[in-house]
Amino acid sequence: MTGPDAAGIEQTGPSNPPRAGATESGPTDRDTSEPRSSAGAQAPMPVAPAPAGVARGGAGGRVERGRAPVRRDPTRFDPRIGRRATFGTIFAIVCFLATMVGILVLATLLIDIFRDGWSRLTFEFLNRFPSRFPARAGVKPALAGSIWVLGLTALISFPLGVGTAIWLEEYAPDNRFTRIVETNIANLAGVPSIVYGILGLALFVRAFAIGRSVLAAALTLALLILPVIIIASQEAIKAVPNSIRLGAYALGATRWEAIRHQVLPLAMPGIMTGTILALSRAIGEAAPVIMVGALGFLAFVPSSPLDNFTVIPFQIYNWVSRPQLEFHELAAAASIVLLALLLTMNGAAIWLRNRYNRKL
């Protein structure tokens, strides 16, 4: 048995320079299962010739590399530690200022809204219908409409978006068609929302004859946020290590089982974060819902997806465009309601995400 010999070979890598070339390629080749295809394909070629030459060379088996003289001359370096540290400090300050600009603007906006609207924000305000008398006007149908539209939008866009992302990441072959689809989804995310409004009007309201309804608005907003949900979900699915998939396959899992039981639960927090952010955008949109026919004055709360509707952003727009100061205060109060709705949604998202994470 050549036990001792073998030991020497395996454990004295660093003191054995000729092997360096081969061993260096080792970790990258073996390290992960993810880039297996390329590693497996390319590794044998470059590694092969060198050892072969050595083997044939026979005796000693050492390849002497030409060594360059090592000079240790301090004058050849100018570390300038102080200067580099200063740059670091300046950079940190610039980043801090960038953060502060955003925070200050946002704080100003919030303070302004709360100063104008806080006094108008009462339970009656939430529970009354619009009126041409500011003292009697309320936000009830707009709030209900926003919740209706939001709920339907989520129901429509979540399965479509996540389904698309799963197909693109887990099933689609890597070909020209897939790449074209992915590129166009990214482009769609940049289309102005008013264009989606026009599409919704032509397609859902007129062609499908759904009318100026909650459903038409939800379908339009679902289209609007679909690209964002797809891209966020794709990223979340991509972030699941391939070793998890391989581990599932190696136990005899089908592709569906690997996705359902291993990939999706891991990707779900990311998918939900993306979806909630997208829905937050949808809830604040006024332009597309105006296009599909949100009403400026609504004296009832929608009770089915095919009812007429209005939403908070449109109510705000409506009030702001009136001359009376009181209506401007109502608009500010409605903004606070919208912010509260958003916060509730984000809170729910965080709660859901933590629940998922805890299971892991």
Partner 1 sequence: MSAIHSPEGPIELEARDLSVHYNGAPAVRSVSLRIPGRRVVAFIGPSGCGKSTLLRCFNRMNDLVPGASVTGAAIFQGQDLYGSGVDPVDVRRRIGMVFQKPNPFPKSIYDNVAFGPRINGFRGDMDELIETSLRNAALWDEVKDRLDSSALALSGGQQQRLCIARTLAVEPEVVLMDEPASALDPIATQKIEELIYELKQDYTVVIVTHNMQQAARVSDYTAFLYVGEVVEYGPTQALFTNPTEDRTEAYITGRFG
What residues make contact with partner 1 under the rule CB under 8 A? 1-3, 5-10, 16, 18-19, 22-23, 25-26, 29-33, 36-48, 50-52, 54-55, 60-61, 174, 241, 243-254, 257, 261-262, 266, 359-360
Closest CB 32 distance from partner 1, rounded Å: 7
Tokens read off for 273: 């974060």
Q: For residue 354, count other CB atoms closer than 10 A to its CB.
A: 11
Nearest CA-CA partner of 334 in 130, 107, 194, 197 = 130
Closest CB 45 distance from partner 1, rounded Å: 7
What CA–CA distance (Å, rounded) separates 150 from 167?
A: 25
Closest CB 190 distance from partner 1, rounded Å: 30
Judged by beta carbon, residue 262 or residue 308, the one nearer partner 1 is 262
Judged by beta carbon, residue 73 or residue 174, the one nearer partner 1 is 174
Judged by beta carbon, residue 28 or residue 131, the one nearer partner 1 is 28
What CA–CA distance (Å, rounded) separates 163 from 156?
A: 11
What CA–CA distance (Å, rounded) separates 327 from 343?
A: 24
Closest CB 348 distance from partner 1, rounded Å: 23
For residue 293, give the 3-state DSSP assignment: coil
Judged by beta carbon, residue 58 or residue 69, the one nearer partner 1 is 58
Tokens read off for 303: 């009770």
Fill in the amino acid letter for 312. I
What CA–CA distance (Å, rounded) separates 297 from 129?
A: 9
What CA–CA distance (Å, rounded) separates 265 from 359?
A: 9
Tokens read off for 183: 């590129």
Closest CB 59 distance from partner 1, rounded Å: 9
Fill in the amino acid letter for 21. G
Judged by beta carbon, residue 1 or residue 209, the one nearer partner 1 is 1
Tokens read off for 29: 């080749």
Closest CB 183 distance from partner 1, rounded Å: 20
Judged by beta carbon, residue 97 or residue 250, the one nearer partner 1 is 250
